[in-house]
C-alpha cells in the first residue's frame, strides 16, 4: 500500500483510509507477498486482492488489507488450537499493528470468533525498541 502501490503516504494513513468505510465492499485480501506461511506452508503462493468492482475504492482495499491480516492471524490460532488440543485463553499482541485502532478492533473480533472466552491483551512496544529490534 505504501512502498509500491503508493496508495498511502505512511502506515498511519492506512487506518484513516480504512475507517472511512463500514465494510470491505466485497473486496478480500490474501496477505501472501512472499508465500503463504503458517498454517499452509505454500512458498509459491502469492497475495491477492479479489472481489473488486467498478465501485471499489482504495478505502475498500485498505479495509480488506486490515481484515485479511486479522483473519490470517485467526487461521494460525485455529491451527495451534487444533494441533495442541487446547483452548486459547489469552493472546498478547505487539508490533506496529497495535497502534492502529481499527486493526485492533477487527483483530479482537476475529480472535473472539475463534473462542468467546479469549482475553486479548495489547502491548505497545517502546518506540526505541520497536525501531531497533523489529525490522
**What is the 3-state secondary structure of the chain?**
CCCCCCCCCCCHHHHHHHCCCCCCCCCEEECCECEECCCCCECCCCCEEECCCCCCCHHHHHHHHHHHHHHHHHHHHHHHHHHHCCCCCEEEECCHHHHCHHHHHHHHHHHHHHCCCCEEEECCCCHHHHHHHCC
The CATH code of the domain that includes 47 is 3.30.420.40
Q: Is residue 7 part of a domain?
A: no
- The confidence score (pLDDT) of residue 134 equals 38
- What is the span of the domain harbouring residue 56? 12-133
pTM to 2 decimals?
A: 0.75
Q: Is residue 114 part of a domain?
A: yes
Q: Is residue 129 part of a domain?
A: yes
- The confidence score (pLDDT) of residue 14 equals 85
Q: Is residue 3 part of a domain?
A: no
Q: Is residue 96 part of a domain?
A: yes
The tens place of each residue's pLDDT in the chain, 135 residues long, gives 767 778 788 777 888 999 999 999 999 999 887 788 788 888 888 889 999 999 999 999 999 998 998 888 888 888 888 888 887 777 776 666 666 778 777 877 777 655 555 555 555 544 444 443 333
Q: Is residue 112 part of a domain?
A: yes
Q: Is residue 1 part of a domain?
A: no
Amino acid at each position: 500500500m505504501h512502498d509500491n502501490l503508493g496508495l498511502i503516504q505512511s502506515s498511519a494513513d492506512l487506518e484513516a483510509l480504512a475507517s472511512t468505510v463500514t465494510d470491505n465492499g466485497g473486496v478480500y485480501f490474501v496477505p501472501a507477498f512472499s508465500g503463504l506461511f503458517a498454517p499452509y506452508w505454500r512458498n509459491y503462493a502469492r497475495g491477492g486482492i479479489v472481489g473488486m468492482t467498478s465501485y471499489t475504492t482504495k478505502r475498500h482495499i485498505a479495509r480488506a488489507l486490515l481484515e485479511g491480516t486479522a483473519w490470517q492471524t485467526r487461521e494460525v490460532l485455529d491451527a495451534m488450537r487444533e494441533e495442541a488440543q487446547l483452548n486459547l485463553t489469552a493472546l498478547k499482541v505487539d508490533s506496529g499493528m497495535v497502534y492502529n485502532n481499527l486493526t485492533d478492533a477487527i483483530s479482537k473480533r476475529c480472535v473472539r470468533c475463534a473462542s468467546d472466552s479469549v482475553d486479548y491483551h495489547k502491548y505497545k512496544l517502546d518506540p526505541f525498541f520497536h525501531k531497533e529490534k523489529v525490522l
